[in-house]
Amino acid sequence: MNIKKIIAPTMSEAVQKVKRELGENAVILHSKEIYNGGFLGMFRKKNFEVIAVLDEHTIKPSPKSYKNANVINLSQTDKLVDNDTSKVNEDILDELAKLREEMKLYHLDHTWSKYPDVIQNKIQVLKSAGVHESYLVEIADNLFEKWQQSTNASQEDILDEICSQIIETELGKYSFEPIANANKIIHFVGPTGVGKTTTIAKLAAEAVLDYKKKVAFITTDTYRIAAIEQIKTYAELLQIPIEVVYEKEDFQKAVVQFADYDYIFIDTAGRNYREKKYIDDLRGILGKNVDVTTYLVLALSMKEEDVYPIIDNFIPLNIQQFIFTKADETNSFGMMYNIIMKYKIGAAYITAGQDVPDDINPATPKVITKYILRDEQV
């Protein structure tokens, strides 16, 4: 039995090498992505490692023959049927599906191959941060053009500066304002578990301690006793008055009661905001107040595909800015860029921890860019 380990830059090249060295009847037992080189986890080059075998006897892929292996016969990918049971071999189909995904990666890698290695390395950093491919193409074209025009085009270091400028310029098209520029009534909305109440406490502490503002709390989160107690505790520590409201009329009375305050922070219930009903409830409570700034609080630890339906439902509330939380629980900072570019809405703050009043920073194009490019000075 002839066993080979093949390493190639793409899965397609690895398969071709297997065919050349072992023939059409070779069987791939296992494949995986590996990374070589790089510095401090960046600029690593991805390769594909394939373990293949050619038995001198006829090879019949089956779970019994290779109990712990993922098996693909290169000559039989269109005939993946168990000869004994006439049943499709699910293990082999799963492995074939993975192979197809890896082939998609080949086409993506092939797209970037038109750029020099230094550009490809920088794009890989953005890709690993989670920046969407559609934005990567725009950034890559822009980066390559500006890099060529630079008098220091031979120096890789200039790419960091150029790339930062490109991302900051794109983000700078939208609003990134601190709470000091917000309206009197500040409405915090978002799904359950994103850290709204803690974020409110951090911003209230900043307004009271740094800006010497008079702040009042209103909470409409009457669904969770623990949530009410939490915000009451913060209110007591900061010596901030608080009203718990249950009806629309109670809310309007509380707003009138706090008329002489600089800011009124409104905490809302964390609910399943994929359901439009809860959004309508929030709109009903706010009524026709126009002096309102609404922040949508989103956790960066959430799956990005789960975030978009939530944002879509909240958009009718006239979201002014995003607040991104839990930056300490993920490395997928590209999600911030994707969301801002998709909805053309800027961000106000990024939080990275539970400490009040710490662990919060103003969100600016420069700060978000540093997160995406893994700048340790964030």
174: in domain = no
List % helix, strand, coil for the chain (3-state, nearest 5). 45, 20, 35
Contact between 266 and 218 (Cβ < 8 Å): yes
pLDDT band, residue 105 (cuts 50/70/90)? very low
287 shares a domain with 199: yes
Mean pLDDT of 36-46: 58
49: in domain = yes
70: in domain = yes
Mean pLDDT of 3-21: 82
pLDDT of 273 reads 59
75: in domain = yes
124 shares a domain with 106: no
Mean pLDDT of the chain: 79
Domain limits at 47? 2-112
In this predicted structure, the answer to whether residue 240 has a pLDDT above a threshold of 90 is yes
278 shares a domain with 225: yes
CB proximity list for 235: less than 8 A, separation 6 or greater? 217, 241, 242
Domain boundary residue, one of 97, 112, 127 = 112
146 shares a domain with 220: no
pLDDT tens-digit series, residues 343-366: 999 999 999 987 777 789 999 999
Mean pLDDT of 240-268: 90
Q: Which residue has the higher pLDDT, 282 or 125?
A: 125
312 shares a domain with 214: yes
151 shares a domain with 24: no
In this predicted structure, the answer to whether residue 8 has a pLDDT above a threshold of 60 is yes
378: in domain = no
Q: Tell me which amino acid residue 182 is.
A: A
Q: Considering only 47-61, 225-239, 328-342, which range has the smallest mean pLDDT?
A: 47-61
Q: Considering only 78-87, 256-265, 298-307, 332-341, which range has the smallest mean pLDDT?
A: 78-87
In whole angstroms, give the CA distance from residue 274 to residue 311.
9
Whether residue 357 is preceded by a cis peptide bond, meaning omega within 30 degrees of 0, is yes
pLDDT of 296 reads 95
User: Per the structure block, which two tokens stand in for 264?
Assistant: 């009124």
346 shares a domain with 250: yes
How many distinct structural domains can be found in the chain? Answer: 3
Percent of the chain residues past pLDDT 90, beyond the cut? 34
Q: Which residue has the higher pLDDT, 291 or 78?
A: 291
341: in domain = yes
In this predicted structure, the answer to whether residue 155 has a pLDDT above a threshold of 90 is no
Nearest to 318 by CA among 135, 189, 125: 189
Domain boundary residue, one of 112, 139, 154 = 112
Q: Considering only 60-74, 110-124, 335-349, which range has the smallest mean pLDDT?
A: 60-74
Cβ neighbours, 10 Å, residue 68: 7
152 shares a domain with 106: no
Which own/partner pairs from 168-173 qualify as long-range (CB within 8 Å, at least 24 positions apart)?
A: 168/365, 168/366, 168/369, 169/365, 170/337, 170/341, 171/337, 171/340, 171/341, 171/346, 171/365, 171/368, 171/369, 172/365, 173/344
Q: Which residue has the higher pLDDT, 76 or 152?
A: 152
Q: What CATH number is attached to the domain comprising 324?
A: 3.40.50.300
38: in domain = yes
122 shares a domain with 105: no
148 shares a domain with 224: no
User: Per the structure block, which two tokens stand in for 281?
Assistant: 């409830």
377: in domain = no
123 shares a domain with 43: no
201 shares a domain with 145: no
